[in-house]
Amino acid sequence: MSEMRRQVSGAQALLLGLKALGIDYILGNVGTDYPPILGAYAQFQQEGRLGEDVPVPITVPHETVAMNMAYGYYLQSGRPAAVFVHTNVGTANALMSLINAERAQVPLLLFAGLAPATEQHSRTSKPGFIHWAQEMADQAGMVRESVKWHYHISGDNIAEIDLILARAYALALSAPAGPV
């Protein structure tokens, strides 16, 4: 992890890492699983760093639309975009467009949130019924056949975020190109 990264949160490191790879846009329809990302964006906006140091966030009203925008962006620019979707139903909404991207060999980086792992003692704990309703036994299972690689980013491996993102980006662009 670079010297600059030691002073940032995991969410900030993720956004900085995506921009360092050349990801200019994050298309998303996020939910209760993204407060750290939203907080990081608020900090970067306050510092005037949106678009310069981190990808520009574009809020999209539906996951299918976000995925199709990433597909179209690649066709126009030759560069992949990142898509952030909500846990379970957001991932499911993205699935048909993910299959299309895989079949057409369109590289993109798909990030799907997860329900919090704890019930108490943390700002990110499950605060109520909604988070339990969003819990899935194998969320990655619904996308596994249409991605070249999937990986769970967590507090346990955030120190390696640059390596994780570099691998995802390289795999997305390597022939045959496709989503990760």
pLDDT at 131: 67
pLDDT at 50: 87
pLDDT at 156: 86
Q: What b-and-e string marks burial along 20-33, b requiring 16 or more CB atoms within 10 Å of the CB?
A: ebebbbbbbbbbbb
98, 42 Cβ separation under 8 angstroms = no
115, 135 Cβ separation under 8 angstroms = yes
33, 41 Cβ separation under 8 angstroms = no
83, 168 Cβ separation under 8 angstroms = no
Mean pLDDT of successive 10-residue segments in the chain (180 residues)? 63 97 95 88 93 95 98 98 94 97 98 75 61 76 95 90 98 98
Strand order in the sheet with 82-85: 56-59, 25-29, 82-85, 109-112
Instruction: Single out the residue of 176, 175, 157, 156 nearest to residue 165, CA to CA.
Output: 157
For the chain, where are the alpha helices, taking DSSP H only?
10-20, 35-46, 63-77, 89-103, 129-134, 161-173
- Top-level class of domain 4-173: alpha beta
User: Any idea where the domains of the chain sit in the sequence?
Assistant: 4-173
Instruction: Single out the residue of 124, 102, 117, 118 nearest to residue 152, CA to CA.
Output: 117
58, 25 Cβ separation under 8 angstroms = yes
pLDDT at 3: 44
